[in-house]
Amino acid sequence: LPMLIKNGHTVFAMIRNTSQVEAMKKVGAIPVIADVFNRKAVFSVLEETNPDVVIHQLTSLSSWDFEDNAKIRTKGTRNLV
């Protein structure tokens, strides 16, 4: 994110809850809230921000639950693309 922002790009960071809002603002990103498992919420954010590019960074590495990570990578990815 910092490199994109440094090079003049507007960066929206989709986060699932408000606990990360300040962290995203601190690096210069514009936080938008959406749960990746809610397809309508994801589409709403994409329509609202109208990005030129979407970079897939879906992960739950803080959780060692392989099922959670697999769900994010399958269902979350389907909702994002």
The CATH number of the domain holding residue 62 is 3.40.50.720
Task: Tell me the C-alpha distance between 10 and 32, whole Å.
Answer: 13
Structurally, how many domains does the chain consist of?
1
Q: Which residue has the higher pLDDT, 77 or 15?
A: 15
* Residues 5-30, mean pLDDT to the nearest whole number: 94
Tell me which residue range forms the domain holding 13. 2-80
Task: Tell me the C-alpha distance between 79 and 67, whole Å.
Answer: 17
pLDDT digits 0-9 by tens, 18-31? 999 999 999 999 99
Residue 65 C-beta-side C-alpha neighbours within 13 Å: 6
Longest dimension (CA), the chain: 37
The DSSP secondary-structure symbol of 66 reads: H
Both tokens of residue 63?
């959780």
Global confidence as pTM: 0.78
pLDDT digits 0-9 by tens, 30-79? 999 999 889 999 999 999 999 999 988 877 666 677 787 778 788 888 88
